[in-house]
Structure 1
Amino acid sequence: MESQKQKPRIAVFGLATLGGGAKGMGIPVLVDLFERLSIHFDICFYSLINHNADVASSSIKIKQPTSWRIPGRLKYFQVMMKCFFDHLHQPWDVIFAISPYPAGAYAVRLGKWIRRPVVVQMIAYEAASLPGLGCMDLTIPWLAKVTRRVCHETDYLVTVAHIQKEIAKQCLPTQRDIDVLPLRINSERFPFVRKSVSFPVHFIHIAYYSLLKDQDTMFRAFAKIADKIECTLTIIGSGYDIPKVQSLLQSLGISTKVHFVKFAAQSELPGYFDKAHILFHPARFETGCAVIQEAMASGVVVCGTSVGILADLGEDYAVAVPPGDDVALATQTLQLIADKARYSEFQQRGHQWITTYGAVWAADNYLQYLDSIVDKDSS
């Protein structure tokens, strides 16, 4: 009997991406992506920090560093060497790194050793530099140097949004090829609820408090809206229990209208979306933004800024104003609330878009992309 064809082998490097972070959830869109890809590829995830293997797919092998207290870079090197020795036992076809540092830096080094193609995927602000946002990688000198080197030396460089690609080309700067492979949610996990705007209007915002997410602009816009109509704002995320936020809410007169939930698992979000009319998302920088996709899948209309996925989609799917403009955000949101037909159009278009271009579509794109790399390298 002819033996079954062996799957191509992919080594994935990341920071507990498939099961990590404060709540051990990892990044759900990436967990979903690699679970789907594991049907076609033999995947081993090399977590550069300790990983909650309980939440990972049983079809994906997990390797992680020792639990001993040693410097982070020694742990990264240890994990890279595990991948190297695994390659000697059974060769890898592709090395895939999630983010230029630390995953990309060690993946590129390993790729040179074992002469295998390396893909570096940028999922956030790794190759962006915006005024006033010191949290970005390119604003930290040593990290900027490493990021630029990795983005130059990797065989394949990927972003998850078209506008992210354009910003990366400007900020790195580079003329090299950058491929766009979006990440998408599994819309089946977010039941669609058809609704029309009613009062009080329920706004929802899901993000940690930061300059990047620009919640101060959101609070100012919401205060202007609350002066005109009856409304509430539910915020899911951490970092709001600081004097600055409480003082701003009091000065704007909206303390009683804003409600906080420190954490909600992804499985709990449909219950919050079910009660919401509008997702507020006024970020100063974004990429694929899963929460916008989740809202659209649920029938919640998005009012935000023209960055990331909203910039890619355009104004036919959501309210999208320039970052930092609370007046425009409030004005256009009020106009949307008053226009029931337009609200319904946004709701239907958003839902149709994410159900058409969801997780299955995204995984198929990655499958074809990785297959082409394997075929090219083996020819």
Structure 2
Amino acid sequence: MKKKVSIWIQGGIGGGMFSQGYPAINQLIAGLATQYDIDIYSQLPANPDYIPQGFKFYSLNRKIKSGTLRWIYLFSIFFVKHIKKPYKVLFSFWGYPAGAISVILGLVIRRPSVVYLHGGDSVCIPSIPYGVFCDSKRARICRWAYSRSSRLLTISQYQASRLITYGIAKETDVVPYGIDSSVFTFKEDRFDTPCIRFIHVGNQTPIKDQHTMLEAFSLIVQYIPATLTIVGPDFFEGQLKTWCISLGIENHVKFIEPQPNASLSAYYHCAEIMLHTSLYEAQGFVFAEAAACGTLIAGTRVGMLADMGETCGIIVEPGQSKLLAEKILDILKKPEEIKAKRLAALRWTQKINSDYTIKEISAIFEQVM
């Protein structure tokens, strides 16, 4: 009989465009569901057309807007389910609020809690503002929850190092998300075109600092023929298009609507270089996707790219648009160095693939049960 696991999450299962939620999370849960009896408690509902595969999904009808009522509803289901068949471990995605909730419930029913930190769970960027540590109340809750969790997980060594700067002394397990190598496949032939094709995949938001990316690209096109394709939803009120016009690169940049995750490999295959200049990433799954497809990575020292290091890509500190442009123009003269970085990045993704993530999380479950 499968051991029973309770998973808590704010949202990210079966929601959003194409009902794919956060693809990496959905992929991980699908893998865990082959080994465990999983109940997912989500504050945000899935889309009406979403059908969970291999696990149970609980959320309140989207007509109920109160977040408090939605959590209370989930608590009531949780305790009933636990009485009928006790949970062995409570697992959460994001430290706030789901992580804090899973820790509290774990203490109540005397079961271990495993908190998997994501996104802004380990940072404060006051200029935006972004991150749980920008709010004193949330920061106190998170510090308490992180310290009382049975195991605290991060998705990159970079993220773990950021926690230390905010006084989190608890030891963490670093478990990155791995890609599905059957979807994101390596394409060898590249860089044999007179026009260098750049790609950027991601939400258009302040944390991605896409102005730095566009500034770097505007410097590059002064020296070589180049195009930039930007794939992803606009949550920035058209700001990127405005910047393109002000930088005089609007004829070199193409915007593509969000695509199903499984379709992104075709876009990576049609680009030589992936640009990603975030102020912060806990991991930055696009780094892994691009690397697996053989697209040279160029970006800022954040998330997974910081962990991979300069053997795997072109790296600058956040905001350094001029230096990034200079490094890209320089490496384009060095085909052997390009090849070495692409292959090193590929090896990284082959080692840390989707099976790796499932095995690591499963091993942690078994250790705490």
Same-fold call, TM cutoff 0.5: yes
Alpha-carbon distance, 1:48 to partner? 1.4
**Aligned counterpart in structure 1 of residue 37 of structure 2, from 37, 42, 46:** 42
Matched, 1:361 2:363: no
Alpha-carbon distance, 1:257 to partner? 0.2
Change (3 A) 1:335 1:38: same
Alpha-carbon distance, 1:153 to partner? 2.4
Matched, 1:245 2:240: yes
More displaced, 43-52 or 226-235? 43-52
Q: State the AA in 1 paired with 2:195.
A: P
Change (3 A) 1:85 1:243: closer
Specify the alignment match of 1:119 in structure 2: 114
Change (3 A) 1:72 1:242: closer
C-alpha distance after superposition, 1:12-42 (max 9, x if no partner): 0112323123442111111111111112111
Alpha-carbon distance, 1:288 to partner? 2.0
Q: State the AA in 1 paired with 2:45.
A: N
Matched, 1:61 2:56: yes
**Aligned counterpart in structure 2 of residue 279 of structure 1, from 274, 281, 284:** 274
TM-score of the superposition, structure 1-length normalised?
Answer: 0.92
Contact 1:10–1:94 (CA under 8 A) maintained in structure 2 = yes
- C-alpha separation in 2, matches of 1:50 and 1:59: 18
Change (3 A) 1:196 1:39: same
**Aligned counterpart in structure 2 of residue 102 of structure 1, from 97, 104, 111:** 97
Q: State the AA in 1 paired with 2:142.
A: T
**Aligned counterpart in structure 2 of residue 208 of structure 1, from 179, 193, 203:** 203
**Aligned counterpart in structure 1 of residue 164 of structure 2, from 161, 164, 169:** 169
Q: State the AA in 1 paired with 2:247.
A: L
Contact 2:14–2:47 (CA under 8 A) maintained in structure 1 = yes
Q: State the AA in 2 paired with 1:335.
A: D
- C-alpha separation in 2, matches of 1:48 and 1:145: 22
Specify the alignment match of 1:377 in structure 2: none
Specify the alignment match of 2:303 in structure 1: 308
Q: State the AA in 1 paired with 2:182.
A: E
Query: 1:179 aligns to what SS in structure 2?
Result: strand
Query: 2:122 aligns to what SS in structure 1?
Result: coil
Contact 2:204–2:240 (CA under 8 A) maintained in structure 1 = no
| Superposition CA RMSD, Å | 1.7
Query: 1:209 aligns to what SS in structure 2?
Result: coil
Query: 1:276 aligns to what SS in structure 2?
Result: coil
C-alpha distance after superposition, 1:174-206 (max 9, x if no partner): 212222111111121012111231221000001
Q: State the AA in 2 paired with 1:358.
A: N
**Aligned counterpart in structure 2 of residue 71 of structure 1, from 63, 66, 75:** 66
**Aligned counterpart in structure 1 of residue 133 of structure 2, from 125, 130, 138:** 138
TM-score of the superposition, structure 2-length normalised?
Answer: 0.95
C-alpha distance after superposition, 1:143-176 (max 9, x if no partner): 22322232232222111111101101212x1212
Alpha-carbon distance, 1:230 to partner? 0.1
C-alpha distance after superposition, 1:66-124 (max 9, x if no partner): 44424111101211221111000000000001112221222122112211111111111
Contact 2:96–2:132 (CA under 8 A) maintained in structure 1 = no
Matched, 1:195 2:189: yes
Alpha-carbon distance, 1:250 to partner? 2.0
- C-alpha separation in 1, matches of 2:218 and 2:202: 19
Specify the alignment match of 2:175 in structure 1: 181
- C-alpha separation in 2, matches of 1:309 and 1:70: 35
Query: 2:46 aligns to what SS in structure 1?
Result: coil
C-alpha distance after superposition, 1:243-292 (max 9, x if no partner): 64334222221010000012111122122112111100111111222111
C-alpha distance after superposition, 1:358-379 (max 9, x if no partner): 11112111111111111xxxxx
- Identify unmatched segments of 5+ residues in structure 2: none
- Identify unmatched segments of 5+ residues in structure 1: 1-5, 375-379
Q: State the AA in 2 paired with 1:348.
A: L
